[in-house]
């Protein structure tokens, strides 16, 4: 460290989010180290990877950098404690991580901050589930309180006859949460960054489309979202300020006939914000690194309407995507596997190429066009 300036940032996790964080950090003369179980992870090309299967390497990782962040929301809280013991800062703070790792703690916080959510009940037994069904009605969504992602660890309960089956499926996983089934019109996400001085900047709302529980594509700005933007911005600012948060936070929202309902938050950069690399003045990745390093934040203003499309399972031919003027290709250096996020494409309309036109062209190119073909 020279002149007390932050120069090295340690990242828990080394997936594509770590890779894009490190890519954004590089022009700022910030270098990264990673703590990750897979040595050939997407981030490996950008910095030293410490082996997360090895306790000794945790200490070495903690000595390797000036300040720490994460790209994986299930980063064990014990790592945050180990950092605190070594007097090293973690952004976002431990409390934000702990809250985001537990759906009940998360919903309780949303309630406390008057951020509307679907009605919910904690479920610790089959009898509790019966009570939840009586209180909330059917259908309801049963989720594990911890450990779920991309729709895993969930059961949609539509009939009382399924109570036993639902309990057998998820009960052994620990504490559960039962939520009223939300008849949403669409799903949005808001992403914001908070600096070390408390300044908050927010990107435009993204409209998110899923396929088999995985994000397929995001449209930015979310169509017809002018009236929703200030509301979502207010909700995420309440969370950021309450948590004394530093870095990027994502809040996933349902649009319903009665307004916005919060679903969950992610204490990290998010797939629905990848568009910001080309579509915003300063991306979620760069602003996260700026915040973590204690640097001034960049503008979150939109440069152009755009669309981010995930590449899942199989790679398209690089040259086919690059032939599309206005398509920005990001491969993550991963091997193909069913359902795996391998990369993404951001589409920016150009003269003579509308977003709809580009999207139709891209749908022809992607081996698995997901929900793009409707």
Sign of the Cα torsion 55, 57, 63, 65 reads negative
Q: Which of 30, 118, 255, 297 binds ligand AMP (CB under 6 A)?
A: 118
Q: Under rule CB under 6 A, how many of the chain's residues touch ligand AMP?
A: 12
CB of 99 to ligand AMP, least distance (A): 15
Binding mask 251-290 for ligand AMP (x = CB under 6 A): -x----------xx--------------------------
179 binds ligand AMP (CB under 6 A): yes
Q: Please say which residue, 70 or 157, places its beta carbon nearer to ligand AMP.
A: 157
Place of tokens 């602003």: 287
Q: Judged by CB, which is closer to ligand AMP: 33, or 101? A: 101
Q: For the segment 226-255, give every residue that binds ligand AMP (CB under 6 A).
A: 252
SS3 call for 307: strand
In this structure, which long-range contacts are made by residues 89-93, counting pairs with CB atoms below 8 Å and at least 24 apart in sequence? Answer: 91/67, 91/196, 91/246, 91/247, 91/291, 91/292, 92/243, 92/245, 92/246, 92/247, 92/249, 92/267, 92/268, 93/243, 93/244, 93/245, 93/246
Q: Indicate the SS3 state at residue 156.
A: strand
Rounded to a whole number of angstroms, the minimum distance from the CB of residue 216 to ligand AMP is: 11
What is the DSSP secondary structure assignment for residue 317, as one 8-state letter? P
Torsion of CA 237, 239, 244, 246, to 10 degrees: -70
In angstroms, give the least distance from the CB of 261 to ligand AMP.
8
CB 79 within 8 A of CB 57: no
Minimal distance in Å, beta carbon 14 to ligand AMP? 23
Which among 174-182, 220-228, 274-282, 294-302 is the span making contact with ligand AMP, rule CB under 6 A?
Answer: 174-182
Binding piece for ligand AMP, criterion CB under 6 A, among 31-39, 59-67, 179-187, 227-235: 179-187
State the nearest-atom distance from the C-beta of 256 to ligand AMP, in Å.
10
Contact 219, 346 (CB under 8 A): no
Listed ranges 23-31, 178-186, 294-302, 347-355: which one lies at the site for ligand AMP (CB under 6 A)? 178-186
| Distance between CA atoms of residues 30 and 49, nearest Å | 16
Least distance in angstroms from the C-beta of 187 to ligand AMP:
6
Using an 8 Å Cβ cutoff, are 190 and 208 in contact?
A: no
Nearer to ligand AMP by C-beta: 118 or 145?
118
Tokens of 211: 């396929």
CB of 206 vs ligand AMP, minimal distance in Å = 13
For residue 36, state whether it binds ligand AMP (rule: CB under 6 A).
no
Instruction: Round to whole Å and give the CA distance between 173 and 146.
Output: 9
Q: Cα(273)–Cα(249) distance, rounded to whole angstroms?
A: 11
204 contacts: CB under 8 Å, gap ≥ 6: 220, 221, 222, 225, 229, 302
Q: For ligand AMP, which is the closer residue by CB, 130 or 154?
A: 154
310 binds ligand AMP (CB under 6 A): no
At which residue do the structure tokens 């306790």 appear? 55
Whose CB is nearest to ligand AMP? 182
Choosing from 148, 294, 313, 333, the residue that interacts with ligand AMP (CB under 6 A) is: 148
Tell me which residues touch ligand AMP (CB under 6 A): 118, 141, 148, 151, 179, 181-182, 187, 210, 252, 263-264
């Amino acid at each position: 460290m020279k002149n007390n300036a932050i120069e090295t940032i340690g990242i828990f996790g080394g997936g594509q989010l770590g890779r894009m964080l490190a890519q954004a950090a590089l022009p700022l003369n910030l270098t990264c180290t990673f703590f990750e179980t897979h040595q050939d992870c997407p981030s490996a090309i950008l910095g030293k990877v410490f082996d997360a299967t090895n306790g000794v390497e945790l200490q070495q990782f903690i000595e390797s950098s000036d300040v720490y962040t994460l790209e994986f929301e299930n980063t064990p809280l014990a790592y945050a404690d180990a950092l605190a013991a070594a007097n090293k800062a973690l952004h976002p703070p431990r409390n934000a991580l702990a809250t985001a790792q537990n759906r009940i703690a998360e919903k309780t916080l949303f309630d406390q901050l008057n951020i509307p959510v679907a009605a919910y009940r904690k479920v610790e037994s089959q009898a509790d589930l019966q009570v939840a069904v009586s209180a909330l009605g059917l259908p309801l969504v049963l989720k594990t309180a911890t450990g779920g992602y991309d729709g895993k660890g969930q059961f949609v309960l539509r009939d009382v006859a399924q109570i036993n089956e639902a309990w057998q499926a998820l009960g052994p996983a620990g504490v559960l949460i039962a939520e009223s089934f939300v008849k949403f019109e669409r799903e949005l996400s808001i992403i914001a960054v908070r600096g070390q001085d408390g300044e908050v900047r927010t990107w435009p709302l993204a409209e998110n489309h899923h396929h088999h529980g995985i994000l397929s594509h995001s449209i930015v700005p979310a169509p017809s979202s002018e009236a929703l933007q200030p509301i979502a911005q207010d909700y995420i600012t309440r969370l950021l300020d309450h948590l004394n948060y530093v870095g990027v936070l994502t809040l996933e929202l349902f649009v319903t006939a009665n307004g916005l309902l919060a679903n969950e938050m992610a204490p990290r950069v998010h797939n629905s914000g990848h568009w910001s690399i080309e579509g915003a003045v300063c991306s979620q990745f760069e602003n996260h690194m700026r915040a973590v390093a204690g640097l001034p934040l960049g503008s979150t203003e939109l440069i152009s309407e755009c669309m981010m499309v995930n590449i899942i399972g199989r790679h398209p031919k690089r040259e086919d995507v690059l032939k599309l003027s206005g398509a920005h290709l990001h491969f993550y250096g991963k091997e193909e596997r069913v359902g795996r996020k391998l990369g993404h494409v951001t589409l920016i309309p150009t003269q003579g190429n509308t977003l709809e036109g580009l999207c139709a062209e891209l749908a022809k190119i992607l081996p698995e066009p997901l929900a793009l073909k409707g």
